Amino acid sequence: MKLVELAKVIRSKNAGPLKITIDIMFETAADYERARGSAGMSPSAIAGRYGLRQGAVEVLPYPQANAIKLVMDRGVVAGSPGDSDVYGAQQHRPLLDLEI
């Protein structure tokens, strides 16, 4: 199953000029646990999808909300030359086909 099929909400946004956050929310605790336990949801797997160095991604589980927050380094400082998404609103795309 792909993450886009399991999650109720997947969205990204800026977390300052140097970080992006991605919120992934699930309808049920079972869906949340399935995603949280997936090898594809590890920091190293997420870093690989984004071409980031090891240690550049933090995975923060929120079981009370059936949600997972990813915090990662931006490749380019927000608003600087070469930034193609100043708001960070389209950065969740590489995760949609993640196998869970």
Domain boundaries, the chain: 3-95
Per-residue pLDDT tens digits of the chain, which is 100 residues long: 999 999 999 999 999 999 999 999 999 999 999 999 999 999 999 999 999 999 999 999 999 999 999 999 998 899 999 888 888 999 999 999 999 9
pLDDT at 75: 83
pLDDT of 25: 98
- Predicted pLDDT at 84: 87
Q: Identify which of 80, 86, 64 has the alpha carbon closest to the alpha carbon of residue 20.
A: 86
Chain-centroid distance, C-alpha 58: 9
- Residues in contact with 42: Cβ distance below 8 Å, sequence separation at least 6, in sequence order: 59
Looking at domain 3-95, which of 3.30.980, 3.30.1490, 1.10.3210, 3.30.70 is its CATH number? 3.30.980
